[in-house]
Amino acid sequence: MSIDERTAPLVAQVPAAAQGENRRWWILVVVASVQFMVGLDATVVNVMLPQLQRGIGLSIANTQWVMSIYVLLFGGLMLMGGRLADVMGRRRVLLAGMALFVFGSVLAGTAHGTDQLLIARALQGLGAAGLAPAALSIMVTSFPNPTERAKAFGIWGTVIGVGASIGTLLGGAIIDIGWRWAFYINIPIGVVLAVAAVTLIPGRTARGGARQPADIAGGLTSTAGLLLLVYGITAIGSRGWSNPVTLGSFAGAAVLLSAFVLIEQRSSAPLVPLRLFRGRGLVTAGLGQILAAGVMLPCFFLLPQFMQTVLGYSPLQTGLAYIPTSLAMMTVAPMASKLVARTGPMALYLAGTVALGATVALMLGAKVHAGYWSLLLPVTALLGIGLVLCLITASMVGTSQATEQDAGVVSALLNSSSEIGGALGLTVAATLLQTRTANLMAHGMGQQEAFVQGLHRGFGALLVWIVLGALVGVFGFRGLTATGESTAAVSQD
């Protein structure tokens, strides 16, 4: 055999290895784009609320439900979506979620009444419940090496930042033309991402050893419990804290989720293996996500309302005003993923909490004639910095112990934490805003001044989240690393 013949197989392996390496990074672009599309939909809806009220006669009472029904199904079904990704295959769940999301976008774009719009938003939330955990788990399992995973998280955050910049601007411009196109834009994006997913992402079915997808009781109790929990949170805004429906939802959620824990303790094939909670990493990361999202979603809801209702911004101007948020995310995300290994998660999460606290503090001083350069520029920039530092740090810590078999459910737990925290923060802030504004207007104050006073009350409530976030940063993230506390302890049953 000649030298050329002996070395030919080795030479052939080099391009194949390089191709596999390149494919992983393209997969990252695809799943990051999927995550962006899911998040963008909520942001665009916040900007288009005034147009929906005029376009289809959406009542003020139903305005919150356009957002809440999406959050309800997104947060309530995500745990099931994450486990389905583990046992049925991540690509399969990603594609199914994409189909539901795109179909919901078609229904929303063609809606001529409130009922069809709410059904469409429900379908989008259902699709997102499969998309989000599948996308994050695909990224986590594609980069098992901690160093490469840190780099991937940096790119993940950067892609989302770039997408937010383009998406917010595009969303504002499209809404100026017609709000329906803000939903229709999801159709070509969804088709392109679905084709890319089929082409790039392996179609293997994830298997958990002897574990079988047979935890029906766990699936029913967890899904029903989370749905009641999120519904109870969203019902606070429309029904109040002491309403029997609100209290009944929380009581039902407590009973069902307690039953879920008992079922998981006895199940041979649990939906959520309780061993995942033995270490502090996942628990702390979940709390970190709850508190960061509890500031994020109210800011994305309240700021556009302030810009359009008080400052008179158009949807396009509102989108332009968010450029500093996107630029900050693009700039800080790659640095955060590298710094977390040097400084530790605690320092970065605390820095993010301080940035979010400064955002809230600035809005507490907002005036009717506030300027862009003196208020909105620093607010939106600090918001982007704080969100990146908190959310990327928490995600890296939370997924650091995820195994091939449990990456989907771990991702779902973190995403569910974000949705629950965001729903609770939004409900509290929006309720205080609406109540304060209505009371002041009833006593003769003008709409803009009353809205600003209500805005102060809503942002003031977020200070509680900031304080709790700082406590989690100090006592929760202390001593943790982005590579996990003890991988061995998590990988054993």
Query: pLDDT digits over 88-100, tens only?
Result: 888 999 999 999 9
> Structural domain boundaries of the chain?
10-201+271-491, 216-270
pLDDT at position 11 is: 42
Q: With pLDDT > 70 as the criterion, what percentage of the chain qualifies?
A: 86
Long-range contacts of 25-29 (CB under 8 A, 24+ apart): 25/155, 26/196, 26/200, 27/138, 27/139, 27/142, 27/200, 27/201, 28/139, 28/142, 28/143, 28/152, 28/155, 28/156, 28/159, 29/155, 29/159
Judge whether residue 250 has pLDDT over 70: yes
pLDDT value of position 270:
80
Q: What is the pLDDT of residue 7?
A: 43
Most confident listed range (145-149, 300-304, 325-329, 471-475):
471-475
Q: What is the pLDDT of residue 320?
A: 85
Q: Mean pLDDT across the stretch 8-12?
A: 44
> How far is C-alpha 293 from the geometric centre of its chain's CA atoms?
8
Distance CA 471, CA 350 (A): 9
**404 confidence band (pLDDT: 50, 70, 90):** confident
CA distance 5 to 289: 56
Q: Which residue has the higher pLDDT, 15 or 87?
A: 87
Cβ atoms of 274 and 261 closer than 8 Å: yes
Q: Nearest-CA neighbor of 116 among 57, 167, 202, 160? A: 57
Look at residue 209 in the predicted model and tell me its pLDDT: 45
State the pLDDT at residue 61: 60
Among residues 417, 440, 419, 437, the alpha carbon closest in space to that of 429 is found at 437
pLDDT band at 346 (very low <50, low <70, confident <90, very high): very high
pLDDT surpasses 60 at 487 = no
> pLDDT tens, 21-47?
678 888 988 988 888 788 777 667 766
Which whole number is the average pLDDT over 423-434? 85
Interval 335-362 mean pLDDT: 91
Q: Which of 14-28, 83-97, 113-127, 235-249 has the lowest mean pLDDT?
A: 14-28
Q: What is the pLDDT of residue 100?
A: 95
Closest CA to 69 of 411, 419, 430, 429: 419
Average pLDDT over residues 189-194: 93
Quote the pLDDT of residue 258: 93
Name the amino acid, one letter, at 233: I
**What pLDDT is attached to residue 493?**
31
At residue 303, does pLDDT exceed 80? yes
Asked if 430 and 236 touch (Cβ cutoff 8 Å), the reply is: no
Residues 291-303 have a mean pLDDT of 88
pLDDT at 20 over 90: no
Q: Report pLDDT for 102.
A: 95
**Residue 196 in contact with residue 135, Cβ under 8 Å?**
no
Mean per-residue pLDDT, 271-284: 83
pLDDT at 475 over 90: yes
Q: What is the pLDDT of residues 137-168, one digit of tens each?
A: 898 888 887 778 878 887 776 676 666 556 56
More confident residue, 116 or 297: 116
pLDDT digits (tens, 9 = 90+) for 360-381: 999 999 999 888 999 999 999 9
pLDDT at residue 22, rounded to an integer:
73
Taking residues 203-224, report their average pLDDT. 64
* Span 70-98, average pLDDT: 85
pTM of the full structure:
0.79
Contact of 160 with 32, CB cutoff 8 Å:
yes
Higher model confidence: residue 13 or residue 127? 127
Q: Classify burial at 94, counting beta carbons within 10 Å of its beta carbon; exposed 0-12, middle 13-18, buried 19 or more.
A: buried
- Answer whether residue 4 shows pLDDT above 50: no
Q: Which of 118-122, 218-222, 405-409 has the highest mean pLDDT?
A: 118-122
For residue 166, what pLDDT is reported?
A: 62
pLDDT at 465: 94
Shortest CA distance to 219 belongs to which of 417, 411, 73, 80? 80
Between residues 36 and 457, which one has the greater pLDDT?
Answer: 457
**In the numeric block, which tokens belong to residue 461?**
């409530």
Domain 10-201+271-491 has CATH 1.20.1250.20: yes
Average pLDDT, the chain: 82
Give the 3-state DSSP-derived string for the chain, with helices as H, strands as E and coil as C. CCHHHHHHHHHHHHHHHHHHHHHHHHHHHHHHHHHHHHHHHHHHHHHHHHHHHHHHCCCHHHHHHHHHHHHHHHHHHHHHHHHHHHHHCHHHHHHHHHHHHHHHHHHHHCCCCHHHHHHHHHHHHHHHHHHHHHHHHHHHHHCCCHHHHHHHHHHHHHHHHHHHHHHHHHHHHHHHHCCHHHHHCHHHHHHHHHHHHHHHCCCCCCCECCECCCCHHHHHHHHHHHHHHHHHHHHHHHHCCCCHHHHHHHHHHHHHHHHHHHHHHHCCCCCCCHHHHCCHHHHHHHHHHHHHHHHHHHHHHHHHHHHHHCCCCCHHHHHHHCHHHHHHHHHHHHHHHHHHHHHCHHHHHHHHHHHHHHHHHHHCCCCCCCCHHHHHHHHHHHHHHHHHHHHHHHHHHHHCCCCCCCHHHHHHHHHHHHHHHHHHHHHHHHHHHHHHHHHHHHCCCCHHHHHHHHHHHHHHHHHHHHHHHHHHHHHHCCCCCCCCCCHHHHHCC
In 3D space, the residue among 130, 128, 182, 137 whose CA is nearest the CA of residue 156 turns out to be 137
Average pLDDT (459-485) is: 87
User: Which of 38-42, 101-105, 123-127, 240-244 shows the lowest per-residue confidence on average (mean pLDDT)?
Assistant: 38-42
Rg (CA), the chain: 23
Q: Which residues pair with 211 in a beta bridge?
A: 208
- pLDDT of 6 reads 43
How many other CB atoms sit within 10 Å of the CB of residue 442? 9
- Residue 82's pLDDT is what? 83
Quickly tell me which residue has 């993923």 as its tokens. 337
- Per-residue pLDDT, averaged over 440-463, amounts to 92
